[in-house]
Amino acid sequence: GESVGLHLPTLSVQEGDNSIINCAYSNSASDYFIWYKQESGKGPQFIIDIRSNMDKRQGQRVTVLLNKTVKHLSLQIAATQPGDSAVYFCAEGRNTGFQKLVFGTGTRLLVSP
Amino acid sequence: DAGVTQSPTHLIKTRGQQVTLRCSPKSGHDTVSWYQQALGQGPQFIFQYYEEEERQRGNFPDRFSGHQFPNYSSELNVNALLLGDSALYLCASSYGTSGNQETQYFGPGTRLLVL
């Protein structure tokens, strides 16, 4: 069946540290992956996405790594800031056709000053 | 450039009632997807509308229905409300005409409480 899970429900880091949030997926047919950040009382905010023809993609202070062999996805946040505190979701989907996304339960990132 | 907007922001209903939630997509987007997010959980896909038709549906009963208008805005209707329907309802818009997976941008959501 479809499932997207996360290894850690809560991650606590100090300001300035690098954060790594992990995600496992089970649907080998998935070829599109996306990370969202959700702050309290708000909708999910797009961070970065990656397609299965890539194993790494970088954005501003963020990097997503995809390991299709072990069905693992990670989000790295450099120089974590208090404003990065939120719940982070990974989601999987198919690259073509219908655009349904399957979300995991999320990881809460807590950044201490 | 306006992002995805949803109305109302909050809503309180009683069991058995019906509710209609509204969504306006991001400018240039033609596809609207609806998700239900229970407290402490990730969003769950309800259905998606493109060219005014429902083109994919998640595991939700027929009490959940929707509509897309020619201007791409969308409504989500829920009949015979149950306590378990209490959740944050999220609308996401994307560009569907390319046929490829395009980024879905979410609105702020409508918080529904069923008493």
Tens-place pLDDT, residues A64-77: 999 999 999 999 99
At A96 the pLDDT is 66
Are the Cβ atoms of B101 and A99 closer than 8 angstroms? yes
Are the Cβ atoms of A96 and B103 closer than 8 angstroms? no
**Which residues of chain A are modeled with pLDDT < 70?**
1-8, 95-97
At B1 the pLDDT is 60
At A7 the pLDDT is 47
At A83 the pLDDT is 96
Q: Write the residue in A43, A51, A99 that is nearest to B106 by C-beta.
A: A43
Best of B102, B103, B104, B110 to substitute, by most chain A Cβ atoms within 10 angstroms, is: B104
- Give one DSSP letter per residue of chain B, joined into a string: ----EEE-SEEEE-TT--EEEEEEPPTT--EEEEEEE-TTS--EEEEEEETTEEEEE-S--TTEEEEE-TTS-EEEEE-S--GGG-EEEEEEEE--TTSB----EE---EEEEE-
Query: Within 13 Å of residue B22, how many CA atoms lie on the same side as its CB?
Result: 7
B31 part of contact set with chain A, CB < 8 Å: yes
Are the Cβ atoms of A100 and B55 closer than 8 angstroms? no
CB pairs under 8 A between A and B: 67
pLDDT > 90: percent of chain B: 85
Tens-place pLDDT, residues B14-43: 999 999 999 999 999 999 999 999 988 999
Average pLDDT in chain B: 94
Q: Write the residue in A4, A34, A96 that is nearest to B100 by C-beta.
A: A96
At A97 the pLDDT is 66
Q: Chain A: residue nearest B109 by CA?
A: A43
Q: Chain A: residue nearest B104 by CA?
A: A46
A102 part of contact set with chain B, CB < 8 Å: yes
Tens-place pLDDT, residues B73-90: 999 999 999 999 999 999
Which residue type occupies A85?
A: S
B109 part of contact set with chain A, CB < 8 Å: yes
